[in-house]
């Protein structure tokens, strides 16, 4: 018995309004990624120097009892931020969580596979996969 895979390929031709909306979504994803990365980077830098050798001008001061930012904690803060920020409400919550999951995967790769520290995404250089909640779009 032979099995066949049937695939379809579509070429999108979005209107100018749709292009603007997609660009806004990608910019939102880039900002969420960079904000979450900055939060993690600040936490790590605050614990990288010895207490007697830290400079108050150049080091990040975060309380010692502050927990390490994780995927779960950043998803909770994203949920709280979505309630206040209209800009974040325009984008699907699940796709923003996938962006945070990609950042978590980058950190796991850094520690386990000796990859470099994750980098910030530049303006316009962030091409991401977007996932829709199909149950809401029907």
Q: What are the residue ranges spanned by the domains of the chain?
A: 21-47+55-124
Cα 1 to Cα 5, 6, 87, distances in angstroms: 13, 16, 52
pTM of the model: 0.77
Q: Using CA atoms, how far apart are residues 119 and 129, in angstroms rounded to an integer?
A: 18
In this prediction, residues 2-21 reach a mean pLDDT of 87
User: Are 6 and 102 in contact, with CB atoms under 8 Å apart?
Assistant: no
Which of residues 115 and 98 earns the better pLDDT score? 98
Reported as a single tens digit per residue, the pLDDT across 38-70 is 888 888 777 766 666 666 665 566 666 777 788
Question: How many other C-beta atoms lie within 10 A of the C-beta of residue 40?
Answer: 20
The pLDDT value recorded for residue 138 is: 43
The pLDDT value recorded for residue 137 is: 47
Reported as a single tens digit per residue, the pLDDT across 66-113 is 777 888 988 899 999 999 999 898 888 888 888 899 889 888 887 788
């Amino acid at each position: 018995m032979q099995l066949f895979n049937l695939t379809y390929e579509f070429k999108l031709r979005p209107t100018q309004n749709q292009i603007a909306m997609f660009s806004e979504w990608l910019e939102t994803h880039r900002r969420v990624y960079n904000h979450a990365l900055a939060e993690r980077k600040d936490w790590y830098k605050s614990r990288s120097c010895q207490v007697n050798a830290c400079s108050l001008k150049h080091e990040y001061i975060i309380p010692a009892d502050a927990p390490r930012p994780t995927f779960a904690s950043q998803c909770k803060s994203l949920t709280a931020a979505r309630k206040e920020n209209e800009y974040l409400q325009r984008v699907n919550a699940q796709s923003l969580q996938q962006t945070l999951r990609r950042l978590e995967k980058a950190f796991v790769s850094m520690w386990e596979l000796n990859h470099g520290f994750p980098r910030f995404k530049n303006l316009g250089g962030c091409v991401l996969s977007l996932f829709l909640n199909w149950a809401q779009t029907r």
